[in-house]
Amino acid sequence: MATYFFEGHIKPVIVEMSYRHIVEIGVAAGANTVNLLQLAQEVDAFLYCIDPSTDFEPDTEYQRLLIVRKPSLQALKTIKQIDCAVIDGDHNWYTVYNELKLVGERLVTGGTVFLHDVLWPYGRRDMYYEPKRVPRKYRHPYQKMGIVQGKMWLSRDGINGEYYNAAYEGGSCNGVLTAIEDFLRLNQEYAFSIVQAEHGLGVLQKRPAGA
């Protein structure tokens, strides 16, 4: 989860860059949302939290917090400006690629996007919380079966067998890292790096034109 990277990577960038419009995609139980909310209050930032199925309710009132219980590809269209986005939602090519397009249209120069799970198991394999949200054209065969590192096909053993996972690893339009790479081919104004820990944190920063 993105909480692993909050203190060492996400928070320092938000503070140093004085970001004031922060978006979180993928709230779940709210573990990282609590961190982001506390930081938003400290720096007087607006925090948008997007997740269609979260039950998270903050234990404090903060006027510059908005929880949007809609799919990210709908919710992002309502946001005008983004300084920083933390993406840890639906880990499939179609969703992540289109999240990046929508975030990129709203991201300020110098803005940063953090994406979790850019390495195994979902760097090169789709996962679908709600398969029908992904158009058939971009939806791989899938099953609720486990993932074993080094094995292309799903297994009765392995991890994350409770989720709808793509039947195989690799190939086009498959996985979080593949989505990032495809986005970068058409958007060369970004610097990209990966933190090699806890399934990988991708960091995209939007550079000034010509930099």
Q: Judge whether residue 211 has pLDDT over 70.
A: no
Is 11 in contact with 37 (CB distance < 8 Å)?
A: no
Q: Which of 52, 59, 99, 43 is nearest to 76 (CA)?
A: 99
**pLDDT (tens digit, 9 = 90+) per residue, 12-34?**
999 999 999 999 999 999 999 99
pLDDT of 209 above 90: no
Residues 6+ apart with CB under 8 A from 2: 10, 26, 32, 86, 88, 114, 116, 201
Structure confidence at residue 59 (pLDDT) = 86
Closest CA to 86 of 18, 160, 17, 11: 11
- Higher pLDDT among residues 80 and 208, named by residue: 80
Give alpha helix (H) positions in 44-145: 72-75, 93-106
Q: Is 48 helix (H, G, I), strand (E, B) or coil?
A: strand
pLDDT above 80 (res 207)? yes
Q: What is the pLDDT of residue 16?
A: 97
Whether the predicted pLDDT of 36 surpasses 70: yes
pLDDT tens per residue, range 148-194: 999 999 999 999 999 999 999 999 999 999 999 999 999 999 999 99
- Is 38's pLDDT higher than 80? yes
The pairing of strands 190-195 and 201-206 is antiparallel
Residue 145 has pLDDT above 70, yes or no: yes
Based on its alpha-carbon atoms, the radius of gyration of the chain, rounded to whole angstroms, reads 17
pLDDT value at residue 140: 98
What are the C-alpha distances in Å from 54 to residues 70, 127, 194? 10, 18, 28
In the predicted structure, residue 210 carries a pLDDT above the cut 80: no
Mean pLDDT of 197-205: 97
Listed residue (80, 37, 85) closest to 62, CA to CA? 37
Q: What is the pLDDT of residues 41-85, one digit of tens each?
A: 999 999 999 999 999 999 889 999 999 999 999 999 999 999 999
Counts for the chain of helices (H) and strands (E), in that order: 5, 10
Peptide bond into 135 cis (omega under 30): no
Domains in the chain with CATH codes: 2-125+172-206 (3.40.50.150)
